[in-house]
Structure 1
């Protein structure tokens, strides 16, 4: 008199595999967006308009390492060469932004000298790079 009673299981909602899939898709799209390359456009003559805006320029990155060596856009330069290049660049684009990355071990006087050089070159938009305290 044993009856064949099948236990009916309710479908279970498995969240762990769903989280794994979501993270996989997130990583896939992040890596895909990092790999995108700007496509080269055909050379065309664009029409003029009064409301057109100038393209946004990337900031100039000026790095001062612990020994006081200056690197400008990943190219080592002397202090005088950096000054001349900044003056030329600021003459072409007065609203250019400069990011100053100075090593924490750099002498304070060296950083002040570089900031003074940037000011005399006409830099109005200066940002000093720092890491967020964690």
Structure 2
């Protein structure tokens, strides 16, 4: 009887390391997309809140800086032209809303003037933006 001395093994492609690499790439691209989220607001010193949540389905942003400067999606605007500009931009998405970035040092009355112009444009969904409060 002849005994085979050499037994040839079949080549195998291990799937577990490939699956690990695929999941790592998936996690990398998810984090990369989340970090590239577009915020149309300009940098202002926002008030803080313990329950602030980020809304991601809004379409327009209005920024009111501490010196009274007003911006609509990074474009300078005035209080008189804000309602017409918002109505023009909001006609494409009727379910959209406005993210309102207001500096914490502005007077309360100025904030309500801007809110009135947003309402005049026919937009009822307004989100006042705030920073999350750091608890010690």
Q: In which range does the TM-score fall when normalised by the shorter chain?
A: 0.5 to 0.7
User: What is the number of equivalent residue pairs in this alignment?
Assistant: 91
Question: 1:92 offset after TM fit, Å?
Answer: 4.1
Query: Residue 86 of structure 1 aligns with which residue?
Result: 86
For 1:1-134, list aligned pairs within 5 A.
29=28, 33-34=32-33, 58-134=58-134
Question: 1:58 offset after TM fit, Å?
Answer: 4.8
Query: Residue 18 of structure 2 aligns with which residue?
Result: none
Gaps of 5+ in 1: 1-24, 38-55
Query: Residue 17 of structure 2 aligns with which residue?
Result: none
CA contact (8 A) 2:58 2:98 kept: no
Aligned Cα root-mean-square deviation (Å): 3.2
Deviations 1:35-64 (A, max 9, x none): 999xxxxxxxxxxxxxxxxxx975201000
Query: Residue 7 of structure 1 aligns with which residue?
Result: none
CA contact (8 A) 2:90 2:96 kept: yes
Moved runs in structure 1, 4+ residues, more than 6 A? none
Question: 1:91 offset after TM fit, Å?
Answer: 3.9
Gaps of 5+ in 2: 1-23, 37-55
CA distance in 2, matches of 1:127, 1:57: 11
| Higher RCO (CA-CA < 8 Å; seq separation 6+) | 2
Q: Rg: which structure is higher?
A: 1
